[in-house]
A = this chain, B = another copy of it.
Amino acid sequence: MYRSHNCGELQMKQSGTKVTLAGWVQKVRDKGFMIWVDLRDRYGLTQLIFDEERTSKVIMDKAKTLGREFVIQVTGTVIERASKNPNLPTGDIEILVSELNILNEAKLPPFTIEDETDGGEELRMQYRYLDIRRNPVKESLIFRHKVTQEVRNYLSNQDFIEVETPYLIKSTPEGARDFVVPSRMNEGQFYALPQSPQTFKQLLMVGGMDKYFQIVKCFRDEDLRADRQPEFTQIDCEMAFVEQEDILNVFEGLTRHLLKEINGVSVDKFPRMLFDDAMRLYGNDKPDIRFGMKFGELNEVAQHKDFNVFNSAELVVGIAVPGAASYTRKEIDKLIDWVKRPQVGALGMVYVKCNEDGTFKSSVDKFYDQDDLAKWAEVTGAKKGDLICVLSGDTNKVRTQLSALRMELAERLGLRKPDEFAPLWVIDFPLLELDEETGHYHAMHHPFTSPKPGQIELLDTDPGAVKANAYDLVLNGNEIGGGSIRIHDKETQAIMFKHLGFTEEEAKAQFGFLMDAFEYGAPPHGGLAFGLDRLVAILGGQETIRDFIAFPKNNSGRDVMIDAPAPIDDDQLKELSLKLNLKS
């Protein structure tokens, strides 16, 4: 053992004790006759002291060679500090060093190993092993471990069994793109990496393993957006002999447990919102309900005058921004510019100031009188001092635009508090989603989701209206989990595949094993999967996931530290019966 204690535990009660510590040199202060060194390990910082009067010349000289991030081992005596540091758990003591052993030297690191570092994102990723020494990253990884331990212990105590499902599976063209793995032993054939263990967990239900979970890596070869990773981690869960209500209760219990144990926050029964209501009231299927600004639909009170922009719109909808009536013309113009940015895409914005004296001042005063505007205020719930922002256009687009504006304003107004937690179930999702480009319907959740009882006939007449037994768990405006009650009989599954455009042969080739399994006694079942990376980030009060992943990839899917992906040997290619077919 290189140490008797760690760098985070020594206090006055160990005063006089001889101890051995090991760690990294955080900082050296050399006054010539006296040298202080901050020694750091995973557990904290401890101050070392070398002093001409009490330390041998050999050690004194050696101490003078120490540089930042050197790895050292010291033996010495715990003594009381002259000037204590109340901000440090070990701030009352220091170690008077009697032995110093340099275990490894260090080049000057390319960025400072401090909570606020001078290293940019790219540099930090290239030297991730140094970045992990920094408290914010280190603590995020430890936090992630704590969350997964809580999840595992909670679910195990509820009789869930963690079962490992395979990583080398079969490619299916539905959903996102698969990463594939050429098989050397089966010439010309490929495995695929799982986008999720969906079919396997359903087969476990058929196998009688009625409460399953797994914390598992999943893979999607998507064009990466910011804060997406090609490999990500799910808490994957499935239960048999359950209805939607059972699933919601179990995983609400898990989430409540995490909020309590990890964040010390008690949350009552989670509210539930219909998908249609979420879209109508928040323009979004994952509303942040930590704050208001609900949508008010204004068609009835805004389409009776000569304002053509509104009259020709499918939807006129507004929100009341609290206290924003005081915005200057310039500030409002900036807001209008913000909604007109291509990322948002609105053509313009109408606003109404709700003055403190009860009058209204709007950008459309020549079309609407005070009575009209009073009705707008009523519908949007605007109070004196609020600013009503109104967008109009096609329903889907304008909802998305207003939702973006609502979130942006909440951010600016400080309403998205990281230490406040507002979970929400969004339920009754549509079964199918229209792909506007191709005109085809595809599964909103996945092709194994069951339609609501009695709605299967609607598939022929009004497919977009069919609701599913599908639900999302939303936390602070982020989808942290989603799932559904599954189809468990071959006929319904065949009908679904047909409506999703699979021929019988295609369905059989890709999912034959599942259809077969449904013929041998499949129980009713359903489940849910949490996105662990995001869940952990949000519980940790962050919006970006990257620091909760030890070795993340960049937006091109590259690991810049190990420089992967990389070319492989011709021999390797040949063994795999492959040739490159480069476009350039």
Binds B, one of A251-259, A410-418, A550-558: A550-558
Given A186-B558, A186-B565, A207-B130, A553:B104 Cβ within 8 A? no
A204: interface (CB < 8 Å): yes
- Distance from A156 Cβ to chain B, minimum over Cβ atoms (Å): 5
Set B42, B167, B569: member contacting A217, Cβ < 8 A: B167
How many angstroms between the C-alpha atoms of A173 and B557 in the bound complex? Answer: 22
- Cβ–Cβ < 8 Å partners of A561 in chain B: 203, 513
A128 within 8 A of B: yes
Instruction: Verify if A24 is at the interface (C-beta below 8 Å from B).
Output: yes
Complex-state Cα separation, A242 to B489, whole angstroms:
56
Which chain B residues lie closer than 8 Å to A241 at the CB level?
A: 1-3, 22, 41, 73
What residues of chain B lie closer than 8 Å to A370, measured between beta carbons?
none
Q: How far is B551's CA from A200's CA once the two chains are assembled, in angstroms?
A: 9
Among A137-145, A353-361, A448-456, A494-502, the stretch that binds chain B is A137-145
Chain B: which residue is nearest A512 at the CB level?
B563
A531 interface contact, C-beta 8 A = no
B residues within 8 A CB of A408? none
Assess the A106–B42 pair: CB atoms within 8 A: no
Q: How far is the CB of A13 from chain B (nearest CB, A)?
A: 21
Within 8 Å of chain B (Cβ to Cβ): is A378? no
A519–B145 touching, CB < 8 Å? no
Known: A156-B149, A582-B187. A166 touches B24 (CB 8 A): no
Q: Tell me the bound Cα distance from A168 to B71 in angstroms.
A: 31
Instruction: Return chain B residues, CB-CB under 8 Å to A567.
Output: 188-190
Q: Decide if A209 touches B132 in the complex (CB within 8 Å).
A: yes
Tell me, in angstroms, the Cα distance from A164 to B145 when the chains sit together: 9
Residues on B with C-beta less than 8 A from A163 are 141, 144-145, 550
Contact A187 B584 (CB under 8 A): yes
Q: Is the CB of B170 within 8 A of A565?
A: yes
Kindly state whether residue A309 has any CB partner on chain B within 8 Å: no
Which of A281-331 touch B at CB < 8 Å?
none
Identify which of B170, B230, B573 contacts A564 (C-beta below 8 A): B170
Report chain B residues within 8 Å CB of A550: 163-165, 200, 204
- Does A152 belong to the interface (CB within 8 Å)? yes
In A155-173, the 8 Å CB interface with B consists of 156, 161-171, 173
Minimum CB distance partner of A166 in chain B: B551
Are the C-beta atoms of B207 and A128 separated by less than 8 Å? Answer: yes
Binary interface profile of A, 178-222, with partner B (CB < 8 Å = 1, else 0)? 111111111111111100000110011011111100000101010
Q: With A and B bound together, what is the CA distance between A141 and B564 in angstroms?
A: 35
| A577 contacts B by Cβ under 8 Å | yes
Whether the Cβ atoms of A138 and B246 lie closer than 8 Å is no
How long is the Cα–Cα vector from A128 to B202 in the complex, in angstroms?
Answer: 12
Contact for A565 among B1, B103, B189, CB less than 8 A: B189
Q: Tell me, yes or no, whether A397 is within 8 Å of chain B by CB.
A: no
* Chain B binder among A50-58, A81-89, A520-528: A520-528
| CA gap between A129 and B109 in the complex, in Å | 53
Which residue of B193, B223, B579 contacts A578 across the interface (Cβ within 8 Å)? Answer: B579
Docked CA distance A107–B489 (Å): 12
Chain A 240-267 interface 0/1 with B at a Cβ cutoff of 8 Å (1 = within):
0111011000000000000000000000
Which chain A residues numbered 453 to 489 have a C-beta less than 8 Å away from chain B? 488-489
Please measure, in the bound complex, the distance between the C-alpha atom of A168 and the C-alpha atom of B565, giving whole angstroms.
8
Are A69 and B521 touching (Cβ within 8 A)?
yes
**Interfacial residues of chain A within 52-84, with CB under 8 A of chain B in the complex:** 69-71, 73
A117 within 8 A of B: no
A233 nearest CB neighbor, chain B only? B164
Does the CB pair A207–B2 fall under 8 Å? Answer: no
Most buried by B among A192, A209, A211, A246: A209
Q: Check B168 against A231 for contact (C-beta < 8 Å).
A: yes
Cβ of A31 < 8 Å from any Cβ of B?
no
What are 5 pairs between A and B in contact, CB < 8 Å?
A: A104-B521, A104-B522, A138-B207, A166-B559, A171-B568
Q: What would 14 more interface pairs be, CB under 8 Å, given A169-B559, A181-B193?
A: A2-B243, A129-B207, A131-B207, A145-B161, A166-B553, A168-B179, A168-B553, A169-B562, A179-B191, A185-B224, A186-B556, A186-B565, A189-B567, A192-B564
The 10 closest A-B pairs by CB, nearest first: A132-B207, A106-B521, A170-B564, A189-B565, A2-B241, A69-B521, A183-B565, A579-B581, A129-B203, A129-B207
